[in-house]
Structures are given as C-alpha cells and as structure tokens.
Structure 1
Amino acid sequence: MATALRDISHKIAGAPGAPAIRFGDVFDPNSGRVQARVALGTATDLEHAVAAAQNAQPAWAATNPQRRARVMFRFKELIERHMEELAILLSSEHGKVIADAKGDIQRGLEVIEFACGVPHVLKGEYTQGAGPGIDVYSMRQPLGIVAGITPFNFPAMIPMWMFGIAIAVGNAFILKPSERDPSVPVRLAELMLEAGAPEGILQVVHGDKEMVDAILDHPEIRAVSFVGSSDIAHYVYQRGAAAGKRVQAMGGAKNHGIVMPDADLDQVVSDIAGAAFGSAGERCMALPVVVPVGEKTAIALREKLIPAIGALRVGVSTDPDAHYGPVVTAAHKSKIESYIQMGVDEGAELVIDGRGFRLQGHEEGFFVGPTLFDRVTPAMRTYQEEIFGPVLQMVRADSFEDALRLPGEHPYGNGVAIFTRNGHAAREFAARVNVGMVGINVPIPVPVAYHTFGGWKRSAFGDTNQHGMEGVKFFTKVKTVTQRWPDGGGTGDSAFIIPTMG
C-alpha cells in the first residue's frame, strides 16, 4: 500500500488556512521521489492572510520597540535551539548538505540579531531651534502590510533577511516561499508565534504565479521584496511598481574571480572549489567564472584546479563528508546538463564533464558532477547566462585591464572577487569595477548583517538593498514634524515663520 503524502499547508493567522484545490509536488532530491505535496494558494487565500495582517498590525506597530525586540530575541533563541531539526528539514527538500543548511540558517539568524537592535535603528533626527521657537524632528514608521517572495536556494536565510527587519520595525509580513522547499518557512512562522509575535504578523502563503500576481496587485500590500531569476525580478519590479508599491527585486548573477599573477594559487584553488561548487552552485553569490591574468597564471591555475575538483565528494545531503549534494529538481538537473552541452557546442574546452553522474544507491537522485570549462569567451551564451549549477568556467585575460572589463561589462553585477597580494591592484579594482559587492581575497563577498546586500545592473531592480540600514529604510517611511509651542502669553504677535534663504 502506498504511503500517503505529507501535505504542506499555508500558515494564515496561526492556522493552515482553507483546504487547497491545487497542489505541487515536493521532491526528495537525493532519491528523486515525491515526498510531500504543497498547497498552491489562490487570491482568496491571500485575502485571508491580508485580513489577519490588518487585524494584527496596528497593535504591533503601537508596541514599543523594546518589546518587539524581545520577541526577536526569543525567536533567535528558538532558532538556535531547533538548529539541527531545521537543517535536516531544509536539506531533505533542497538537497544541500547539512553543513550548508546550517550555514543557510545561521546567515539568516545574523539578520535577526541585527533586528534585535531595532530600538536603536528606529531613532530619528532632531534639530532644536530650526527657527524662532521651532524644533524639527523625524520618525520612522512601518509601512503596514509588506510581503516577500523568496527562492528555493536559501529557504531560511532569505526569508529571515526580509521578515526579520520588516517585523521588528512594526510591519506585518506575508511570505510566499518557493514551492520547491516550503517546509522550513512554515516552521519559521511557527517559531515566530512561539516567540510571542501575534497571529497575523508573520504568515506563509504557498503558490505559483497566481499567488505572486495576487501579491503584486493587492492594494493593501505596501512593499514587496523579491529574490529570484533576473527575468522574474524585472517582471516583479515592473508589476509591483505599476501597482504603486515599493519593490526591491534581486535577480541573477555571474560572479567572477580575478586571479592576479601574484596570488597564492593554493589558497585560490581552495577558495574557488568551495565558492564554485558549494551548495551545488545553486546560489547567487557562487563564483562560477574564474579569470586568470596572463598565460602563465592560467596554466598554473588549471593544473591545480583539476585534481582539486577531482577530489570533490558528491553525496547525499546527510553525508557529513560530502562537499555538495543533489540539485533541487530533475528539471534543474536537465537544464544544467543542457548548458554543459551548449558550452561544448560553442567551442569551449570541456576539461571535466559532470554529466551522467550517478551515486550508488541513489541512481534516481538529482546529482550533477563538478564540471570545468577552459577557454570560454565572453561571446559565448554559457558565459553570458546564469547556469546555477556546479559548473566552473575559465576565461583567460591578458592583463589587469582586460580582467577588470569582464565583470564590468557583463549584464549581471552581483558580486566579484580579486585574488592578489598587491594592495594597489586590489584598491584600484574595488574602486573601478562595475559590480555591487566586491571581495578582496574573499571568494563569496556576502556582507555581514549590519551592512547591506545588493547587486547592480540585471542583478537588482529597485533603489534599496537588503538588510542593514537599507532594509530598515525599505520597510519604513519617514515622517518629519515641525513644531512650535506658544509661550502662553496670548499676545498673538509672533508668527509661525518657516526659515527661508532670505
């Protein structure tokens, strides 16, 4: 007798919501089997979530910042207490190994830690004596109801990047996670309730394009934060902005690692192996392009990369010795392998071919072996587009200027790294490169939580980055008050004068 599939429901006002009409399959990437089904919601489900948010948000916004911070502190403690459970659940649906799953959760938790300081970040500005008896001050207030649409590759980190700050500053947050790995976001909402957040302050609605469009069109949702592919990010930005919302829409990436002739190649190879192939390359801050400067550097780097890549262990997500696990779906595996064939057809040199990888005992799992291309050129489609898999491309550059131009002229502008011992070269590179986040001898330059995350060009649409003070600005609006208190004399002969240039 077949075992009934586990159903993954919405989390609306602390409850599962209405019975679903449509469902999507949730796979175990290690075996290739369907392990659960997730409700695919409708605009009606969203209406219920918005109604619950409307009921809860005014009182939450009126709660003083210290009390909201205490909820975030308790949420942080609960996440730490449930770290193992969350990591196992995350890896079972995504496929990333447990160590990567814990890293996913930890990087989200760091933004929660930043949100615990919300009383400080909400302090406004004050000017005494801006005019005769006039003082001016500003305050940051929540927008009301806001939403996040998050991708499959970081089902814990990216939601926490969004809702941690949004909730701390007084908003109600509606999360639409990826339908490919939806269980961890639901568990986060449960833990937020346990931490003391009122029902309706953090809700989860599942769905596909129908739910996305409902969020973008709903007049009561004031802002939308999105992370996903660039084409969808552009769509979300345009549709959301047309509906009068604030939108930050983070897209894809093609991050480059520039290797100067003076770089420590052993360290570079170690860094690149993790940055290119960790999490099976399914992250927007992966490093899928390496650019050696000079032929001598290219030859030496290639000689060191081949054995290092050959030593990578691909395994199931629970294998503690695996460097990475399966990709998220069979469709994504096929897409990655089609890009590998495209690279061959375009004339790149396929040095290591990861197609056809089979893990003994898990032959139906969604595994792709590590792949290395050399002599890739900027004209190739495989270079221009995001592959989002365990594929590393080597693009050789003759000089520092040639290497600088590659990421600068690429359509994406998320992250970039330079490996060098030369401080002047590093400083020059950081100042001139046309990319939003730069690493100097750091292969994945994701900023810490109290700074801000965001790319340029087709990697981001909108004017505000994620987390840090940029996140606070995105999820709040500024109100400026100009005040004057009469002295009580009742003479009526002093006017309320706004200072002018005269």
Structure 2
Amino acid sequence: MRMIDHFISGGTAGLAAARKGKVMDPNNGGQQAEVVLGGADALERAVAAAQAAQPAWAAMNPQRRARVMFEFKALVEKHMDELAHMLSAEHGKVIADSKGDVQRGLEVVEFCCGLPHVLKGEHTQGAGPGIDVTSLRQPLGIGAGITPFNFPAMIPLWMGAVATSVGNAFILKPSERDPSVPNRLAELFLEAGMPEGIFQVIHGDKEMVDLILDHPAISAVSFVGSSDIAQYVYSRGVAAGKRVQAMGGAKNHGIVMPDADLDQVVGDLCGAAFGSAGERCMALPVVVPVGAETAEKLKAKLIPAIEALKVGISTDPDAQYGPVVTAEHKARIEGWIAKAIEEGSELVIDGRGFAMQGHEEGYFMGPTLLDHVTPDMDSYHNEIFGPVLQIVRAADFEEALALPSKHQYGNGVAIFTRNGHAAREFAARVNVGMVGINVPIPVPVAYHSFGGWKRSGFGDTDQYGMDGIAFWTKKKKITARWPDGGGDGSNAFVIPTMG
C-alpha cells in the first residue's frame, strides 16, 4: 500500500514509523494509502534543517525570493490537473472545486511575487537634529502552519507562501486525512529554486500539534480548524512564548431583504451552502429571509433548485458536489439533522440515506433543507459543516442584523438587497469580520486579508495580505546620527522630544 512520508530537507524522511494513519477514498469508502504519524524525531529533524537553511534564505535579496515565487506559480499552473485530481481523490470535492482550492492559494503566491515592494520599510529624514529614523521588517526565523482537511492546497499556501517569501523557514503540519497535495507542493517549491529546509511537511496528529506548540525554536504558529482547537492552539502557543494566529469555525448567515433578486439569491445559496459538500468555513449554511412573504417566496424557489442539485463522484464533471471527507463526519452531519428535527425544525428536504449507485460505500449525502430554525437551537448555534441549509426567519431588518451579530461565530456574512442604504447600514453595524453585499462567499482578495471575529478567530492578525506580512515578520526601528567628525562636541546626540 502506498505510504505517504514526511518531506524534510528536500525529500522523504525515511524515519521508522511507530504509528500510521489511514488515508481513505471518500468516493468508495476504501483505504488508498497510509500516512506516517510522526513524533519528536521527525520534528527535530525538520527544525534542524530549517535552522541550517533559514539564515542564508533570509539574507537573500527579496527579489530573488520573489523569483522563486514566480517560478513556483508557473509550476503549479503547469501541474494544476495533477494537483486537482490528487486533491479530489483524498478529500472528495469535485475537480472544479479542487482547482479552485489550488487557484485561491496561487492568488496569495501572486501577492508574494510583489514582496520586494512591501518590504521596503519606512524612513524619516531629519526626525531630530541630524537624526534619521528607519523601520524595517525582518523574518522571525522558523514558523509553522497547522492546516485542516477542507483546503489542503489553499490554506498551506496562504501561510507558507507569505512566511517563506519574507525570509522564514516554514514547517507545515497538514491534515492527516488528505496529506498528498502538501507533499507535492513542497516538491514544486524545491523545483522552483527554494532551498532545502525552507518549506517542509511533517505529518501527524495531536501529538505533533503539541510538539510544534511547545518547541522553543519555532517562533510563530498559524492554525485553521475548529474553534475549540483554535482556542487550545492559541492558548498553548502563547503560553510557550510564540506568536499565534488561530482561525476557528463559522456559522455564516445570508440576509435576504424583501427587495432582493430571489433568482440570484437561490443560485448563490445553492453554490455557497452546498458547494464542496458544505465543508468550508466560508460556506453559507444559514439563510435569513426578512418578512414572512420573503420567506415563503424564497422557500418556494429553493426547493426545486436544491432537488435539482447533482451529487456525484469527484471526477464527475456534471456533479455540483461530491462526498464528505470521512464516514465519521457523515455520521456527525446526520446527527445534527436529527437533532434539528428533534428541536422543532421543519425538515423540508432530507439528504440522509443518499446512496451513489456503484459507490454505495462512499461518504455521500444529499442536500438537506431545514425551515423554522430558531436561535435557541443547538443545531443553529453550532457548526454542522455539511450540505445542510437552515432557514431562520426574521420579522424585520433589526432582527436579521442581530442574528449574526449575536452568534458565537463571526467569520462571514452576506446581505442580498437592491437598497444601498440597507446594505451600507448592515455592513457598518454587523458584528462579523467579513461582509458580502450580494456576494455569498465574501473571501477577500489576496492583497487584503482573511479573518473572522469572536470564536472564528484568535489572535490580532488575519491571514495573508498586509496582516500576513505583519504576522510573519518583526519590525526593527533604527535611529541614526552621523557626527561630522569635528570632535568638538557641537553635534552632541540629542533624543528628539515631543513638542
């Protein structure tokens, strides 16, 4: 059986594996590979390689590091089909979604190609008598990323491209459920000209996470996953003296105003709620129609649209989405549907019991629609992370605004309306980190930044963009005065004061 090893210092580690994990094929429920679950020996080897390589990489002029990013981007584009099929085989998302996964990561790589401009720093001439002040950004040393199963290309590139392009070495611990794409990305970085030891991949589970969080040579950790684990990672990492950003779960809402274009809304909801089987933190699993009439009209249009969605295997070009990632996750989603019904939700469309002909052992679920969901229900309060759309009815704008604002998660939200004042008011007042106006999945472009509020994000900086630069660097401030050489003390150094 195929074995997936660590990628350390330019190649497979070849360490003795005391523990291994199963890598399944969600399309048929069969095991397709084993992945090494590493321990302290693997991490120590990766850290040693990073320590050996990072000083020279940091000392390289930034345009040369940018050229590596340019070459890496070209290589990923060349291997796009290979990466997408590799990703779909382990994750289960359809090929089009897998290509989107890779492409959104590449957009951050494109941003990193312009890093020489961003790293120029600041300078003030004449801050005091003969005194100049300069500030510049320098790399931290060694950073680490801990990434989830749902975006095995995009999120590692969000972290790793920024971390390495500013001069750090980066150690990635991806999800053990779909580990092949991260290894392939490491190979392509090496082919693009990145030195051995700068981008490495170590595989493992919670044991490896704790080793990373405790390791004194690792200066910063970036994490994306569930909120409980994000809070744990943040607390333990900060206690160990690290810089930590930890992105958690979500329960994104779509507010539908009475004047919204319902045909557009339905199309957007079908993609945002059910695309990638709902396994993304920017999915839109809650729709909030404002007013009873809006709710009934929307529901009438949603039912046939959802029933027409095609579920298929990952390689089916006509499928809107594929299987969920594991049998355990499928059972968890089904449990939340049952819980919602028990709590009093109306089951409009039931996606349980769906079976794909010829792939009966695959982890497939049909789309589910629940109506009359209320804020006191656990199924509303918690993240389901599957192909389930819940309708929460609001009587007016203020009630609709309050729902995402008061929810424990604050990742993303969208409002659908033709009214500019309503959209502006909503965007200004809603207590959520990313807002879409007639945009169902408001993921910012690569030169802005990504991050939610409340239990959706722990730490003071977002992913990528200028926040990413700030997270992966430390700022140095230099105050300089050059005497004229006269030696008479007439230009004695004076610290400038306010006023």
Match of 1:478?
475
Distance 1:375 1:363 in 2: 32
CA distance in 1, matches of 2:2, 2:364: 24
**Residues in 1 aligned to 2:216 and 2:132: alpha-carbon distance in whole angstroms:** 35
Letter in 1 for 2:5: S
Structure 2 residue identity aligned to 1:374? D
**1:375 lines up with 2:372 in the alignment:** yes
Aligned-partner Cα distance in 1 for 2:47–2:118 = 27
Q: Deviations over 1:18-57 (max 9, x none)?
A: 1311100000000000000000000111000000000000
**What are the Cα deviations for residues 439-465 of structure 1, in whole angstroms up to 9, with x where unaligned?**
000000000000000000000000000
Partner of 1:15: 11
Is 2:294 aligned against 1:297? yes
Q: What is residue 443 of structure 1 aligned with on the other side?
A: 440
Matched, 1:424 2:421: yes
Deviating runs (4+, > 6 A) in structure 1? Answer: none
Q: Does residue 356 of the first structure (1) align with residue 329 of the second (2)?
A: no
Cross-structure match for 2:44: 47
| Equivalence for 2:205 | 208
2:185 aligned residue (188, 197, 209): 188
Opposite residue 462 of structure 1, the aligned amino acid is G
Equivalence for 1:104: 101
Inter-partner Cα distance in structure 1 for 2:11 and 2:284: 41
SS at match of 2:12: coil
Could you list the per-position Cα deviations for residues 222-273 of structure 1 after superposition, in whole angstroms to 9, with x for gaps in the alignment?
0000000000000000000000000000000000000000000000000000
* C-alpha distance after superposition, 1:342-369 (max 9, x if no partner): 0111010000000010000000000011
Q: 1:460 aligns with which of 443, 447, 457?
A: 457
Q: What is the RMSD computed on CA atoms of the aligned residues?
A: 0.5
Please give the alpha-carbon distance, in whole angstroms, between the structure 1 residues aligned to 2:311 and 2:116. Answer: 45
How far did residue 276 of structure 1 move? 0.1
Return the alpha-carbon distance in structure 1 between the equivalents of residues 498 and 139 of structure 2.
Answer: 33
The C-alpha deviation readout for 1:374-395, integer Å capped at 9, x for no partner, is 0000000000000000000000
Is 2:375 the counterpart of 1:401?
Answer: no
CA distance in 2, matches of 1:66, 1:36: 39
d(CA) in 1 for partners of 2:421 and 2:480? 51
Count of residue pairs the alignment pairs up: 498
Offset from partner CA, 1:192-237 (integer Å, 9 cap, x none): 0000000000000000000000000000000000000000000000
Letter in 2 for 1:280: A
Q: Structure 1: which amino acid aligns with 2:214?
A: D
Q: Deviations over 1:87-124 (max 9, x none)?
A: 00000000000000000000000000000001011011
Q: Tell me the distance in 1 between the aligned counterparts of 2:281 and 2:163.
A: 22
* Matched residue, 1:219: 216
What is the alpha-carbon distance in structure 2 between the residues aligned to residue 43 and residue 429 of structure 1?
A: 49
CA distance in 2 between partners of 1:102 and 1:409 (Å): 35
Alignment of 1:67-146 (within 5 A): 67-146=64-143
Structure 2 CA distance for aligned equivalents of residues 494 and 401 of structure 1: 64
Pair 1:157-2:154 in alignment: yes
Residue 329, structure 1, aligned to residue 329, structure 2: no
User: Alpha-carbon deviations, 1:271-300, whole Å to 9, x = none?
Assistant: 000000000000000000000000000000
3-state secondary structure, aligned to 2:475: strand
Distance 1:459 1:43 in 2: 30
Amino acid at match of 2:290: V
Letter in 2 for 1:11: F
Percent identical residues:
76
- Tell me the amino acid that sits aligned with residue 376 of structure 1: V
Q: Which residue of 1 aligns with 2:59?
A: 62
* Counterparts of 1:333 and 1:214, CA distance in 2: 30
Aligned match of 2:309: 312
Q: Write the deviation string for residues 125-145 of structure 1: whole angstroms up to 9, x where unpaired.
A: 100001111000011000000
Structure 1 position 236 matched with structure 2 position 233? yes
Give 1:27's aligned residue.
Answer: 24
* CA deviations over 1:167-190 (Å, ceiling 9, x no partner): 000000000000000000000000
The one-letter code of the counterpart of 2:375 is P
In 1, the alpha carbon distance for the partners of 2:293 and 2:135 equals 58
Task: Give how far 1:493 is off.
Answer: 3.3
Gapped runs of 5+ residues in structure 2? none
Which of 246, 249, 252 lines up with 1:255 in the alignment? 252
- Give 1:40's aligned amino acid: L
AA aligned to 2:301 is K
Distance apart, 1:492 and its partner CA = 2.3
CA distance in 2, matches of 1:356, 1:246: 45
SS of the residue 1:221 aligns to: coil
> How far did 1:494 drift?
2.4
Equivalent runs, 1:260-279 vs 2, <5 Å: 260-279=257-276
Query: In structure 2, how many angstroms separate the alpha carbons of the residues matched to 1:473 and 1:463?
Result: 10
Asked if 1:347 corresponds to 2:344, the answer is yes
Return the letter of the residue paired with 1:291.
V
**Paired letter, 1:417:** A
Say which SS state the counterpart of residue 195 (structure 2) adopts: coil
Name the amino acid aligned to 1:190.
E
Distance 1:471 1:378 in 2: 34
SS in 2 for 1:342: helix
* Per-residue deviation, 1:15: 2.1
Deviation at 1:14, TM superposition (A): 1.1
Q: Which residue is 1:281 aligned to?
A: 278
Distance in 2 of aligned mates of 1:58 and 1:501:
38
Counterpart Cα distance in 2 of 1:387 and 1:400: 26
Distance 2:131 2:176 in 1: 54
